[in-house]
Structure 1
Amino acid sequence: MTATVASSSLQGEIRRESRRATLRALGSSVLTLVLTLVAVLVMWQGSIWAFGLSPYIAKGPVQVWEHLFVDDDAAENLSTLMALLGETLVDAGIGFVAGLALALATASAFQLSKGLEHALMPLALLLRSVPLIAFAPVIIMIFGREAATTAVMGAIVVLFPALVNIAYGLKSASPQMNDVVAVYGGGPATALRKVALPSSLPAFFAAVRISAPGAITGALLAQWLATGRGIGGAIGGYVSSAQFSDVWAAVVVVTLVSLVLYNLVLIVENTVLARMGMHPEKRV
């Protein structure tokens, strides 16, 4: 009876400590998001003042706010920008999912076959160093000026950084845990599923954090160079017609969305890792 009570008390204390760790991680992530947004606003307005930029070209936070929420045509400006943003996010989402899924599948294949890794990882590292703008003409020539081009560019931006991160994370599994799987008759696939994938969670989340803004960048580039859709396609028209308030509003919205997505992933990451007992210093 005493042992049962002690065990129940211990389990309760573990659950309470897990909840406290989760709340601490969540609070830290939200604070990071707020401080990041404040820092961006300060640097934005401070740069305009420091460099003495013309108010005709450079718009500060107040001017952008008025353009989207105060001016007589603010509702129309905001509606147009949100429609463009929706197109960009759809294109970025397709590239993000495709690139991350391919990176996870390829990294898992590398974990199961060292020969495949030795053959293809140098190529992946080489391609990672090539700017996307260098791929763009070839991709446009193959896929045309269609939505497929946007998806491919977004996937390329996501694929190579995510592949390197996840492949590294899969190698972080404890050799002793792999030995336990082998002792109980498990093969490489079982070790991958039971040991390597859970151990790679920090690296996986790091890849997702990098990939979310990267997918938006790839979508913007594809829209600008190929499809003419979304915010990427609209910015060129805004610049050529000197609609600088629209240019700044578009840049601000894209930047804000990227920051929010990055920090949302960080919040999920901190919460999940805290519940699993993984500490920040163990992240990739």
Structure 2
Amino acid sequence: MTDTLAAPLPPAVARAASPAPLDVSIKQEARKATLRAVGSSLLTFGLTIVAVVVLWVGALWVFNVSPYVGKGPVDVWNYLFALPASGANRAQMFSQLWVTLGHSAVGFFAGLVVALVVAMIFQLSRGAEHALMPLAMLLRSVPLVAMAPVIILIFGRDFASVAVIGGIVVLFPALVNIVFGLKSAPPQMNDLVSVYGGSSWTTLRKVALPSALPSLLAAVRISVPGAITGALLAEWLAVGGGIGGAVGGYIAAAQFSALWTAVVFVTATALILYNLVQLLEAVVLARMGMSDRA
């Protein structure tokens, strides 16, 4: 009896009983999904750059913009690399860009954190959602340029105004996405937590937030260009500095090469950051097997 129990299993039975092949298969599928996500994101980024350049050159040609005012890719390249003062031009553009990125980070985190907190409050209290969501939509319909004087009057020409103006631009699209994601949790999962005595907070932590991951990542992605737009508005309307503050001076001084270069800098930065976040989103969702829900 002892010899029978100690006898090794047949190879086919041993392979079927071992979880190793299944684990290897899952890891291989996750790796393939990650590679597909990376390849798709890089291809999208390359096609976007090509499309932007084609639209840029095509618009100048179709509308017959004067070369004195409208600058093409070659003019921007010469301004940065071919002119005698190109080194100073690059240093100036990068210093202004860093200021704008700092302002963008302030608005990005302010708007995204507020959106997440408000969405969680909406998920915990339907009454709060019914009371505050119409107010949020009404506030969203007011042009930010019209609200800017009031914001500056209340918060001054400081980082607080940058956080408010940038946060408003980021807040509403992110809020809609996160609220939708929190509500996408399967009702059966919510019922299961309730049956076992879980509170609304437990349901939020254990079910709603994990289910909302694709929507949360999408909110982060769309908030990146929104934060840059908010920073440009804040610099132009309130605090000055950065690319947003410099654009008005370039227009007044008829420095159109500098103007177009500044626009190219901020557009390229927005595209790069957007696609980096999109790449991170695709990789995370592919690794977690949630690509189909993105």
Q: Give the superposed CA RMSD.
A: 1.2
1:253 shift after superposition: 0.5
Counting only pairs closer than 5 Å after superposition, residues 106-255 of structure 1 correspond to structure 2 as 106-255=118-267
Q: Per-residue CA shift, 1:221-241, capped at 9, x if unaligned?
A: 111111121111111001000
**1:105 alignment counterpart:** 117
Q: Per-residue CA shift, 1:117-164, capped at 9, x if unaligned?
A: 111111112212222112111101111222221121001111111111
Amino acid at match of 1:87: V
**1:4 alignment counterpart:** 17
1:255 shift after superposition: 0.7
SS at match of 1:117: helix
Using the alignment, how far apart are the partners of 1:160 and 1:207 within structure 2? 10
Using the alignment, how far apart are the partners of 2:252 and 2:144 within structure 1? 24
List gaps (5 residues or longer) in structure 1: none
Paired residues of 1:210 and 1:262 also in contact (CA < 8 A): yes
1:186 shift after superposition: 2.1
Using the alignment, how far apart are the partners of 1:195 and 1:257 within structure 2? 36
Identity of aligned residues (%): 61
Using the alignment, how far apart are the partners of 1:273 and 1:130 within structure 2? 35
1:187 shift after superposition: 1.6
1:169 shift after superposition: 0.8
**2:11 alignment counterpart:** none
Amino acid at match of 1:230: G
Using the alignment, how far apart are the partners of 2:288 and 2:98 within structure 1? 35
1:99 shift after superposition: 0.7
List gaps (5 residues or longer) in structure 2: 1-13
SS at match of 1:155: helix
Query: Which structure has the greater CA radius of gyration?
Result: 2
Q: Per-residue CA shift, 1:245-269, capped at 9, x if unaligned?
A: 0000000111111111111111111
Paired residues of 1:128 and 1:161 also in contact (CA < 8 A): no
Using the alignment, how far apart are the partners of 1:149 and 1:246 within structure 2? 27
Using the alignment, how far apart are the partners of 2:232 and 2:281 within structure 1? 26
Number of equivalent positions: 281
SS at match of 2:52: helix
2:53 to 28, 36, 41: 41
Paired residues of 1:107 and 1:163 also in contact (CA < 8 A): yes
1:35 shift after superposition: 0.6
Paired residues of 1:127 and 1:160 also in contact (CA < 8 A): no
1:2 shift after superposition: 4.3
SS at match of 1:139: helix
Using the alignment, how far apart are the partners of 1:83 and 1:210 within structure 2? 25
Q: Per-residue CA shift, 1:13-53, capped at 9, x if unaligned?
A: 01100110011011100110111011101110111111111
Amino acid at match of 1:249: T
Using the alignment, how far apart are the partners of 1:220 and 1:153 within structure 2? 10
Using the alignment, how far apart are the partners of 1:22 and 1:2 within structure 2? 28
